Amino acid sequence: MVAIADLPSTFTTAMARASGLHPRDLYAARDAGLILELSHGVFRRADAAPASFPDLLAVSYRNSSAVVCLVSAAAVHELTDEIPAAVQVAVPRASRPPHISFPPTTVFRFEPSTFELGVTRLEAAPGEYVRIYDPARTVVDLMRLRHRVGQPTALAALQRYLRRRDSRPAELLELAAALRVRGPLLHALDVASAG
């Protein structure tokens, strides 16, 4: 029989079953506190190093093509003090959006042709990575979807981004052109530089 210690730090029910662990034993281990259930069908060994971003890790295991975006990405990149009520992820418009009730998740459908622009990786737990948009793409998306996330949130993220040592306004404008929001971003940059 497979021992819980033989499983990866984070794993799914399917991974446990493929390793030979019976569902009955899996749920007995959960009830005994040997594993923690991060989301439906996603578990983490209790003896594993703590995850820095367990909710992002859980959502990533539920849908591997999802990319952490908008306010969730802004919080990770320290572009906002806002704590999102739900994990915000993007999936390609043509794909079927995941239905995840826990952790609370909001799914946005982005254009497939620009979906991979600005995708990077975040170490959500030691040695475990999730897909996330980089700071520049996050700012552009916040400006692009400011009607959904709030203009103050988008403008505050832009200002924080511009104060960073690694900020690249030219990259913002290139991304904004690709995502068809160059005009509003250019106007916000003008206002930010005048202030």
Q: Do both 68 and 92 map to the same domain?
A: yes
Strands (E), 99-171: 105-110, 119-125, 128-133
Q: Which of 90, 85, 104 is nearest to 138 (CA)?
A: 90
**pTM for the model:** 0.89
- Tell me the pLDDT tens digit for each residue of 13-52: 999 888 888 888 888 989 999 999 999 889 999 999 999 9
The total number of structural domains in the chain stands at: 2
Residues 173, 90: one domain?
A: yes
Tell me the C-alpha distance between 115 and 181, whole Å: 15
Cα–Cα distance between 102 and 87 in angstroms, integer?
10
pLDDT digits (tens, 9 = 90+) for 135-171: 999 999 999 999 999 899 999 999 999 999 998 988 9
Same domain for 98 and 162, yes or no, is yes
Whether residues 41 and 127 share a domain: the answer is: no
* Structural domain range at position 157: 54-194
Whether residue 58 is found in the same domain as residue 41: no
